[in-house]
Structures are given as structure tokens and as C-alpha cells.
Amino acid sequence: MRPNVTRFQLLRAGALLGVFVAAMSVGTPAPWAAPAGSAAALLAVPAVVDAPGDPTDVAGWVAYRTARDLPALPAQATVLYRMGVEADLKGESENAVRLWRGAEELDPGYLAPRLTLISHLLGRDPSQGLMEIGRLAGLARTSFRLQHFFTTYLLYYAFSALFLGTLAVALFLCWRYRTRLLHVYQEMLSRRLPAPRARFWAWILVALPFALGLGVAVPAAFTLALLWSYLRRSERAAFLALVGMLVLSPMATRLFDELSLPARPNAPPFYALVELDQQPFDSARLTRVSALAQQHPDNPFLAFSEGWLAQRGHRDEQAQAAYERAQRQWPQEARIPNNLGNIAFAEGNGSQAEIHYKRAIELAPRWAPAHYNLGQLYTARFRYAEASEEIAQATALDFDLVRGLQARSSGQSSPALAEEWLEPRTQWEAVFGENPAHPGAAVMPPAWQPWFESRGLAVAIWTLLLCALGIALGLILHHTLPARVCGNCAATVCRRCATRRRDQVLCEACAALLSTATTPEFGRLLLFKRRRETRRRLGQVRTVMAVVIPGFGVLAYDRLLVGWFVATCTALTVFLLLSGHAPFPYDPRVFAEAPRPLSGIVLAGLALTYFLSLFTYLSLHGRAREADASVDTSSGKARERLKRAA
């Protein structure tokens, strides 16, 4: 598999950013997952502990899990989480926190209680909340599944919000310039139709692209292409941004198809085995994985999975053979020699184990488990000085890991050894490597599936064709009959209908008003009154719209970038609040009534966006009024004259 490090690094960075975003769609418990850096106490002898009868007996369940050396107790964790939510709804906050922490301990990979704790503690005990965030970030650093989940969510919401924000700006521009198209269509149709009918059909022609069944974005792009001659530079940039998004949309859908690989049940390279490290040994599963590995000998992931499962079933020979097959294809993966070293150690072959551990350290000098295991080997062979040095190094690299392993080793006859599932980097490389074609249709987020814009290459072709046609048609229309605005009331006019007073172009209504004036001064006064009245009416409509729709007021004052930002933020928060769920959820979606963690923060974000929009609009509105007032004041003398004339 060809490594794709750059994309991997970007994605890993994105994964950490996605923690918050992902929280919004996780509202339900998880059944599996084990602690990062978990140690398998291969040689430990478990004490006999019975399962407690009370589901809320957190200490009992934790002792049960430890005694049975189970990676996780997902069902019990789910129940604890639910009980915690129910306790919180009853106002028993302390009990809720206890139950959530219990759920977290029973299933360390369970995201919902962690996010709920963060959401709960941030408002009450911020230091605890920040510590929870730190724990989650630590988990995300080592867990491919969590990284995959956060990355997918971040990309999903980022793409959706960016697209919807840009689309909102494009639709606003279509609405703002609609009268230009309407007027030109109407003038052309009025050669063959009476004016009211021409106006009716002009509306039909403007709305027609949106009725073709090509979604909303492609017709909006086509309409803006028709209006290209009238658009300002920033508005053209918005149009090009929309076209760019539509043309590049196949890449987004392809990206999600690639990101679906870990979740695909029958697709290489993972065959839905990325959760294997969180599951207890099952001989049927080992048989299935062995068969798959034999079927696909060139798939190192399957070889490693077989080795991992066989090692858990104490089938050392099979495990060793499988790991060696994996090592031939992944010679740079330090986990393989480490696990081979553990097998050799368990078999009593210390010198071979030492070779494997040293190989693992050579491949990943800053990876703590190999140092720890080598330290344990040296201890078993009475080489205490070297053992102390290795364990000190392991402690310096990962204190929690060493502390956890030593706690598990206490009272046992043999030390617990450290081993880890594949490094996230290796799995990311597998996601974006050259994978054979997989069965089934391309996968994309369910919320996107009904959108025409998610149809891949067809959308790009339609967009390019229609935009080229729109620009050509728009230029012809503009050349044939350019539309302008009335110099007084800003209504749309053209050379056929405009009345000219010196260089001032007036619409029919303004010209009719002017014709009633007996003197030029009185005419100017009438025009001024009409202009003021028109502006006042439009201002009222604009204010109402600005109050109702965040971003509208800012866009109306030509602050396109700020408007786009507000629209995107609004789309993001509304999408987070309203969308059912995003693709590839980390936890199973159970306990449907669970409140969404961090929804309060998202609501606060929405409110902040709304007030930012409103405040910016009011500020711009005030400035515009001041400018109008200063014009009035400067022309006070003239106004007096006009009043006298009136």
C-alpha cells in the first residue's frame, strides 16, 4: 500500500479539531472499545469475581471487568450512561456524574459519557471539564477509529456548512438582481405580448431553471452566470466559489467513499475489522479472519488481525506466522516486532524476544510499550540496570501506560506486557492507499443523498455546461438590451423604457412625477420625496429580513464576505442542531431520547452568530443613515429653496 503521509497528517490534525463538532451528533452509548494503550495480561491469572446483580453497582462492574480481563463492558456502560442521563433529568447531578464516570470506566472508548461529562462540567466545574477534554484528546491521539470519526464529522459539517453558506449568498444575489432579468425578459416579450402577460412570462422564465429538477445550486449558478455583466467583483467571486464547489463536488463524494472503507463490511483492506482490538477472543471470528487472510495474502491488515486474534486465543504458532506475514509487507510497523517479542517472551524465548523488542525500538524510538516490555524482559533475566533504564524511558514517554501496567501486574506471578493495535498512521495509509475495487455503490453521507448536488461527475458537467451557456446568453442579452437603474428610485430600467433628464435616467413612475412639476425645483423636490419614500420602504423590508434571516442585512449592505461568514456559521449551527446524524457514527445510536451533548454550546454559537449579524447590520444601517443625514444637511440651502418653490 502506498503511503500518503501528507493527507494523513492533515486528516489527523483535522481529527483533533473535529472533537467538538462530533460531539453534536453523538448522543448515544457505545458497546465496545478498550483503553488506549491497553495491556493484555497474557500471563496473569484472573481472580474469580461474579457479575453484580445491580446495574448501578459501578465498583462491582469495574472489579468484574478487571478480573475477567475484558477490554470493555459496553452493554453495562450503556445502561449506566442512560441511568446517568435519567438521574440528571431528575436533578441528581452528583449521581449522574458518578454513573457517567462509571460508564467511561467500563468502556473507555465510549464517547457519549465523555462528551456528556464535558458538556456537564464545563458550565459547573471548568477545570474538570478541561481535564475531560484532555483525556479525550489523548484518546483521539492513539485511536484510529476516533480519529476517523472526528475527521469524517469535521469534513462532513465543514463541507455542508461551506456549501450551504455559499449557496445562501448566491441565492441572495439571484434575488437582488432578479429585476434585471425580469425587466429584460419582459421588454423582449412585450414585442409580442401585452405588458401584463409579458410580465407573467418573465417571472416564469426567471423561475424556470429552478423548476428543471437540477436542485438549487446549479440553477442559482446558471442565474448568476446570466447576470455576470451586472455583478460586481466580489459578487463574481461568490459566483465562482459556488461553481468551484459544484465542479469539485465529485471529489467530496469520493473522499467520503474512501472514508467509508473502515465501516464497509466486505471491502478491502479492513473488512470491518478495525474494532477487533476492542473485542474479546472469539474462535469463530478467528476462523473467519484466517480464511480472509488466506484468501487475500497480499493484505497485511488481515495478516495482522489474524495474528492479533490468534495471540489472544493463545495460538502462538498461528499468531507468529501471521505476524511474520504482516511484517514482510509492513516492515516499518513497530507493533509487529513488539507483539512477536511478547509471544517469544511468553514462550520463554528471551533472546528472541529481546531481538524483537530492540527491532521495535529501532523502528519507533519514542514508542513507550516496546521500552516497557524490554524492561520487563530484562527484569525477568535479572539485568536490573538495563531494566531500570528501559522502564524509566517508557515512564518518561507514557507515564499513564506504565502506571496502568504495573497496577495490573501487582499480585500476579507474571508481568503484564504492553501491546497495541496498529498505529493510526498505518491505518490512514491503508484508507488512502491503492485499494482494490470494493463491492456496492459509492457511499456518501445519508443527508446528502437526496441532493442533486451530490450526484458526482454529472453535477460538475451540468454546472460547467449551464454556466458557459448562462454567461454567453447573459452577454448577448446585455449587449441587446442592457438594464440600468433609475437614477432616483433605483428601479430597473432599460433604454426602451427609461426617460432621461439630462444624464439622469428615470423610470416611468419618476418621470411621470416629474412631468407634474411646474418648475424644475419643484420637480427635484418631488423626486427627492419619492426617493426617500422608496428608501424608507425598502429599509423596513430589509430590517425585517435582517431580523428574521441572519446574514441578510449584512449582505444587503454589500458586505459579502461578512455575510458569507455569517451564513456559513448559521448553516453550521443549524445543521448541527437539526440534522439527524452524520455518517459513520462512532457509538451505536441507542437510547434515542438522550440529549445531545454540547447542544447548549451550539445554541450559544447560533445566538452569537445571530447577534453578530444583527449588530453588524444595525451598525451599517446607522452609518448609512448618518451619511444620508449629512447629505441632507449639506444641501440644506438647496432644500430650503426647494421648499419655497413647492
Partner 1 sequence: MALSGSLREFALSEILQLLSSQRKTGSLRLNRGSETRVIYLLEGRIAAMRDRGFSEEDPLARFLRRVHRLSEEQMRGIASIHAESNRDFVDLLLNGRYIEREELAVLYERMVLDVLHEILSWDDGTYSFSNVSPPESALQVSLSTESMLMEAVRRMDELRRYQQKLSDPSLVLGLKELPDPDASLGEEEKELFGLVDGRHTLGELVQEAPFNDFEAYEALFRLIEAGWIEIQGRRAPEAVLAEAPSARVGLGATWRTEAALAGACVLLILLVQVLAWRTAPSPARSAPGENVYATMGLRDVRAALEAERARSGHYPPRLTTLVEQGWLEPSQLTPAGAALAYCNDPGDSSFALTFAPRGN
- For binding to partner 1 (CB under 8 A), which residues are involved? 29-31, 55, 74-76, 78-79, 82, 189-195, 197, 201, 204, 208, 211-214, 260, 263-266, 272, 439-443, 446, 452, 455-456, 458, 461-462, 482, 484-485, 487, 493-495, 498, 500-505, 583-585, 588-593
Q: Which residues contact 205 (CB under 8 A, 6 or more apart)?
A: 181, 185
Nearer to partner 1, 71 or 307 (CB): 71
The least CB distance from residue 642 to partner 1, in Å, is 18
The least CB distance from residue 151 to partner 1, in Å, is 16
Residue 545 CB coordination number (10 Å): 16
* Burial of residue 381, with CB atoms counted within 10 A of its CB: 0-12 exposed, 13-18 middle, 19 or more buried: middle
Nearer to partner 1, 263 or 598 (CB): 263
Q: Which of 320, 401, 404, 328 is nearest to 366 (CA)?
A: 401
For cell 525500538, the residue is: 361
Nearer to partner 1, 446 or 622 (CB): 446
For cell 489472544, the residue is: 312
The least CB distance from residue 125 to partner 1, in Å, is 29
- The crossing angle, in degrees rounded to 10, of helices 424-431 and 144-176 is 50
The least CB distance from residue 236 to partner 1, in Å, is 16
- Burial annotation 488-512 (CB, 10 A radius, 16+ → b, else e): bbebbbbeebbbebeeebbbeebbe
C-alpha cell at 557: 449592505
Nearer to partner 1, 208 or 407 (CB): 208
Please state, in angstroms and rounded to a whole number, the distance separating the CA atoms of residues 342 and 316. Answer: 10
The least CB distance from residue 412 to partner 1, in Å, is 29
Please state, in angstroms and rounded to a whole number, the distance separating the CA atoms of residues 94 and 117. Answer: 11
The least CB distance from residue 191 to partner 1, in Å, is 8
Nearer to partner 1, 77 or 168 (CB): 77
The least CB distance from residue 79 to partner 1, in Å, is 5
Nearer to partner 1, 197 or 529 (CB): 197
Q: Are 94 and 72 in contact (CB under 8 A)?
A: no
- DSSP one-letter code for 484: E
Nearer to partner 1, 256 or 552 (CB): 256
- Cα separations (Å) of 517 from 520, 525, 529, 646? 7, 9, 13, 9
For cell 446549479, the residue is: 218
Half-sphere exposure of 448 (CA within 13 A, CB side): 24
Residue 612 CB coordination number (10 Å): 18
Nearer to partner 1, 30 or 370 (CB): 30
Q: Which residues contact 375 (CB under 8 A, 6 or more apart)?
A: 386, 387, 388, 389, 390, 391, 394
The least CB distance from residue 185 to partner 1, in Å, is 11
Nearer to partner 1, 280 or 482 (CB): 482
Q: 314 — phi, psi (to 5°)? A: 60, 30
Q: Which residues contact 193 (CB under 8 A, 6 or more apart)?
A: 201
Nearer to partner 1, 193 or 618 (CB): 193
The least CB distance from residue 397 to partner 1, in Å, is 35
Q: Are 71 and 279 in contact (CB under 8 A)?
A: yes
The least CB distance from residue 439 to partner 1, in Å, is 5
C-alpha cell at 395: 515512564
Nearer to partner 1, 8 or 32 (CB): 32
Nearer to partner 1, 263 or 370 (CB): 263
Q: 417 — phi, psi (to 5°)? A: -105, 150
The least CB distance from residue 461 to partner 1, in Å, is 7
The least CB distance from residue 262 to partner 1, in Å, is 10
Nearer to partner 1, 528 or 591 (CB): 591
Q: Which of 269, 614, 641 is nearest to 430 (CA)?
A: 269
Helices (H), 635-645: 636-645
Map residue 343 onto helix, strand or coil.
helix
Map residue 144 onto helix, strand or coil.
helix
The least CB distance from residue 498 to partner 1, in Å, is 6
For cell 419655497, the residue is: 644
